[in-house]
């Protein structure tokens, strides 16, 4: 090998290997010190991106577990108050039964009435004072159903639906499919913002009667159509149940023999055999001019006039000719195309997932549990005399059932949240393992590489020293 002093190639080669070994040695020290294989993007760009996403999701899941735990606390608070409400309602019913007995007189009932009225006030007080983080829970909490028939058409008074309850229902418009009048099937569906469609069908054959070729809810009875997978419960009624409704409907194919249709003191003359569409137009003109205004609309699909009297009296031979009957009772097929709208209320949404979307949330719904609320509806109750006391018993039975149903819904949600927490903790464990396999250092491998790097660095240092000494041999030639 030629002996040169201008460029020491051996020293340059040894120095290059020394730098390379020193850099690898430094990397091994960093990994062993931090316990991580990836400390910066240069270590593994793709692995860094994947592991950072996993880290953020793990943190989100951990917070979701806390959210679920706080949700359980909220439910326990509400359910505890409702337990007391249930006890008071039972006592009020006991007082009503006592007041219904003929062995006491109205003077004796004054003491019963005093306690009864105090209990009603206490129901309201508990509802207003049950709060979680300054949010009142028992005056309506979570998503609610629009009760206006112009928004939720199923509640307009002609489909046989009197009440819609929600338990975990997401926001949006739910549409009924009830096309056949003979299949005893009702389908409810909603399309979410992301295009996902949620659908459930229920078979109501066991609850319907067969009368004059129609499947219907029996007179004086009710039926709860429970779309449990959607979190919606619809109460369907038979004839003569919804006594508060001001709606009526025709049952003939035309105006029949005609005659005067009298609304309050106004007579609307109907032409014999006239079409229902024309009759509806005549009635609508008169009804909309009253205070409060009513309406009359012809439904071509059902071939009937749907009349909202708004509380005004209706009579006359024209009324008889149309075969008008109370409008709000369920007959198979009457819900088709009707809708209910669930809107956002105060609170009620638990974020139990790491991401956005309906699948990462659980909705909690608590109705208005005040005495004056639409769930209990205790307004006007009295046990001051025997007749009113007897009527009060039935109203209280309905209120007790409403509280029990609300408590049942809360209990079901609480149990669901426990499973949600268990699933989240399992997911956190598995995702943490996946993140660890990408991000964490293999200590055994790194120690081996560290030892190798340490030896190579020391060897390269020694060889660099030897290479730097080679040009000195040229001096012997100059002596």
pLDDT, one tens digit per residue, over 168-179 is: 788 899 999 998
Please enumerate, as own/partner, the contacts of 130-136 that have beta carbons within 8 Å and a separation of 24 or more: 130/77, 130/78, 130/81, 132/73, 132/74, 132/77, 132/78, 135/346, 135/347, 136/346
3-state SS string for the chain: CCCCCCCCHHHHHHHHHHHHHHHHHHHHHHHHHHCECCCCHHHCHHHHHHHHHHHHHHHHHHHHHHHHHHHHHHHHHHHHHHHHHHHHHHHHHHHHHHHCCCCCCHHHHHHHHHHHHHHHHHHHHHHHHCEECCEECCEEECCEECCCCCCCHHHCCCCCEEEEEECCCCCEEEEEECCCCCCCEEEEEEECCCCCEEEEEEECHHHCEEECCEEECCCCCEEEEEECCCCEEEEEECCCCCCCCCEEECCCCCCCCCEEEEECCEEEEECCCCCHHHHHHHHHHHHCCCCCCCEEEEECCCCEEEEECCCCCEECHHHHHCCCEECCCCECCCCCCCEEEEECCCCCEEECCCCCCHHHEEECCEEECCCCCCCCCCCCCCCCCHHHHHHHHHHHHHHHHHHHHHHHHHHHHHHHHHHHHHHHHHHHHHHHHHHHHHHECCHHHHHHHHHHHHHHHHHHHHHHHHHHHHHHHHHHHHC
**For the structural domain made of 44-138+370-457, what CATH number should be given?**
1.20.1330.10
pLDDT for position 5:
65
pLDDT interval class at 403 (50, 70, 90):
very high
Percent of the chain whose pLDDT exceeds 70: 97
- CA–CA dist 165, 99 (Å, integer): 33
Q: Is the pLDDT reported for residue 163 higher than 90?
A: no
Q: Is the pLDDT reported for residue 349 higher than 70?
A: yes
pLDDT for position 478:
67
Contact 230, 166 (CB under 8 A): no
pLDDT for position 139:
87
Q: Is the pLDDT reported for residue 222 higher than 60?
A: yes
Mean pLDDT of the chain: 87
Lowest mean pLDDT of 41-55, 224-238, 383-397, name the range: 41-55
On the CB side of 288, CA atoms within 13 Å amount to 9
- CA–CA dist 468, 178 (Å, integer): 95
- CA–CA dist 185, 215 (Å, integer): 11
Q: Is the pLDDT reported for residue 6 higher than 70?
A: no
pTM: 0.68
User: Cα dihedral angle (290, 294, 299, 304), rounded to 10 degrees?
Assistant: -80
- Delimit the domains of the chain by residue range: 44-138+370-457, 143-243+328-344, 247-326
Give the pLDDT mean for 387-391: 91
Task: Give how far Cα 112 sits from Cα of 283, 371, 376, 395, Å.
Answer: 49, 18, 20, 17
Percent of the chain whose pLDDT exceeds 90: 46
Nearest to 331 by CA among 197, 238, 260, 224: 238
Q: Is the pLDDT reported for residue 1 higher than 60?
A: no
pLDDT for position 37:
80
**214 bridge partner residues:** 211
CA angle 342-347-349, nearest 5°? 75
Lowest mean pLDDT of 37-41, 157-161, 432-436, name the range: 37-41
Residues 6+ apart with CB under 8 A from 130: 77, 78, 81, 136, 137, 138
pLDDT for position 447:
81
pLDDT for position 148:
85
pLDDT for position 4:
65
- CA–CA dist 269, 282 (Å, integer): 9
- For residue range 445-461, what is the model confidence (pLDDT) as tens digits? 778 877 887 888 888 78
pLDDT interval class at 223 (50, 70, 90):
confident
pLDDT interval class at 190 (50, 70, 90):
very high
- CA–CA dist 373, 139 (Å, integer): 8
Angle between helices 443-469 and 9-34 (to 10 degrees): 160
- For residue range 85-130, what is the model confidence (pLDDT) as tens digits? 999 999 999 999 999 998 988 888 888 999 999 999 999 999 999 9
What is the Cα gyration radius of the chain? 39
Give the pLDDT mean for 430-455: 82
Residue with the bigger pLDDT between 290 and 476: it is 290
Residue 288 is encoded by which pair of tokens? Answer: 């909309």
Nearest to 229 by CA among 180, 190, 185: 190
Beta strand 325-326 pairing with 247-249: antiparallel
- CA–CA dist 361, 457 (Å, integer): 56
Q: Is the pLDDT reported for residue 479 higher than 90?
A: no
pLDDT for position 419:
94
- For residue range 153-162, what is the model confidence (pLDDT) as tens digits? 999 999 999 8
- CA–CA dist 8, 2 (Å, integer): 11
pLDDT interval class at 10 (50, 70, 90):
confident
């Amino acid at each position: 090998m030629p002996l040169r002093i201008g460029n020491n190639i051996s020293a340059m080669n040894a120095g290059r290997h020394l730098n390379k070994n020193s850099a690898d040695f430094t990397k091994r020290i960093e990994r062993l010190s931090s316990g991580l294989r990836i400390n910066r993007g240069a270590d593994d760009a793709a692995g860094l991106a994947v592991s950072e996403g996993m880290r953020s999701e793990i943190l989100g899941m951990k917070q979701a577990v806390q959210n679920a735990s706080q949700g359980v606390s909220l439910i326990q608070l509400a359910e505890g108050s409702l337990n007391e409400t249930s006890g008071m309602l039972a006592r009020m019913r006991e007082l009503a039964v006592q007041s219904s007995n003929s062995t006491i007189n109205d003077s004796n009932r004054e003491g019963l009435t005093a306690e009864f009225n105090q209990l009603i006030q206490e129901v309201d007080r508990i509802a207003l004072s049950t709060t979680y983080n300054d949010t009142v829970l028992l005056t309506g909490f979570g998503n609610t159903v629009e009760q206006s028939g112009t928004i939720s058409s199923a509640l307009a008074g002609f489909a046989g639906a009197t009440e819609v309850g929600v338990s975990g229902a997401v926001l949006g418009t739910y549409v009924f499919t009830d096309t056949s009048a003979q299949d005893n099937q009702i389908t409810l569906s909603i399309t979410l913002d992301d295009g996902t469609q949620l659908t459930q069908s229920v078979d109501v054959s066991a609850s319907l009667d067969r009368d004059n070729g129609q499947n219907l809810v029996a007179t004086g009875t009710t039926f709860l159509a429970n779309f449990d997978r959607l979190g919606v419960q619809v109460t369907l009624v038979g004839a003569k149940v919804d006594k508060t409704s001001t709606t009526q409907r025709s049952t003939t194919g035309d105006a029949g023999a005609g005659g005067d249709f009298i609304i309050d003191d106004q007579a609307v003359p109907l032409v014999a055999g006239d079409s229902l569409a024309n009759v509806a137009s005549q009635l609508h003109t008169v009804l909309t001019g009253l205070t409060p205004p009513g309406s009359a609309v012809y439904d071509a699909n059902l071939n009937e006039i749907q009349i909202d009297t708004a509380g005004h009296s209706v009579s006359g031979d024209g009324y008889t000719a149309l075969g008008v009957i109370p409008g709000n009772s369920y007959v198979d097929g009457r819900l088709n195309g009707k809708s209910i709208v669930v809107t956002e209320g105060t609170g009620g949404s638990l974020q139990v997932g790491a991401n956005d979307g309906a699948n990462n949330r659980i909705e909690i719904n608590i109705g208005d549990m005040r005495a004056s609320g639409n769930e209990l509806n205790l307004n006007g109750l009295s046990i001051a005399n025997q007749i009113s006391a007897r009527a009060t018993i039935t109203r209280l039975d309905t209120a007790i059932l409403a509280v029990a149903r609300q408590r049942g819904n809360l209990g079901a949600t609480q149990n669901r949240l426990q499973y949600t927490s268990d699933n989240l903790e399992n997911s956190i464990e598995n995702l943490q393992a996946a993140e660890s396999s990408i991000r964490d250092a293999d200590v055994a491998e790194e120690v081996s590489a560290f030892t190798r790097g340490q030896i190579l660095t020391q060897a390269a240092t020694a060889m660099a020293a030897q290479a730097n000494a080679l040009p000195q041999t040229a001096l012997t030639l100059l002596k």
